[in-house]
Amino acid sequence: MNDSQYNLMADELLLAVEEAIDDCDVDIDYESAGGLLTLMFTTGEHRGSKIIINKQAPLHEIWVATKFNGHHFTYQSEQWIDKRGGGEFWQFLSQAVSLQAGQDITLSEQ
């Protein structure tokens, strides 16, 4: 993958996360700027916590930092895969958002 392909795919992923958050029934705020997407939790046990998703262009990775841990995702076999545990991005994000929101949330690419 070259830099242009990475940037296009990473930007599409961040936009898809924004759309998934907009479509979920939980009040989660977000801000997006320059390859950085911050999810802010306004309710629940972890109110005030954040999940930060950002592009790491030199490495062609997506990094996700949650209240509990951080993960690095690379693009393999047409999906973003966690380098640490091998999990898929959308499954990981759904679990992380559910944990921080205090309720079950399933996010997916539209």
Domain count along the chain = 1
Q: What DSSP string runs through 38-62?
A: EEEE-SSTTTT-EEEEEEEGGGTEE
Looking at residue 45, what is its pLDDT? Answer: 72
Is the pTM here over 0.95, yes or no? no
* Domain extent for 35: 3-101
109 within a domain of the structure (yes/no): no
Looking at residue 102, what is its pLDDT? Answer: 86
Looking at residue 33, what is its pLDDT? Answer: 93
User: How many Å apart are CA 31 and CA 36, to the nearest integer?
Assistant: 8
Q: What DSSP string runs through 98-110?
A: HHHHTS-------
Looking at residue 81, what is its pLDDT? Answer: 96
82 within a domain of the structure (yes/no): yes
CA atoms within 13 A on the CB side of 67: 17
106 within a domain of the structure (yes/no): no
71 within a domain of the structure (yes/no): yes
64 within a domain of the structure (yes/no): yes
Looking at residue 43, what is its pLDDT? Answer: 72
CATH number for the domain harbouring residue 34: 3.30.920.10
34 within a domain of the structure (yes/no): yes
Residues of the chain with pLDDT under 70: 44
Looking at residue 57, what is its pLDDT? Answer: 93
Token output for 6? 């990475």
110 within a domain of the structure (yes/no): no
Looking at residue 82, what is its pLDDT? Answer: 96
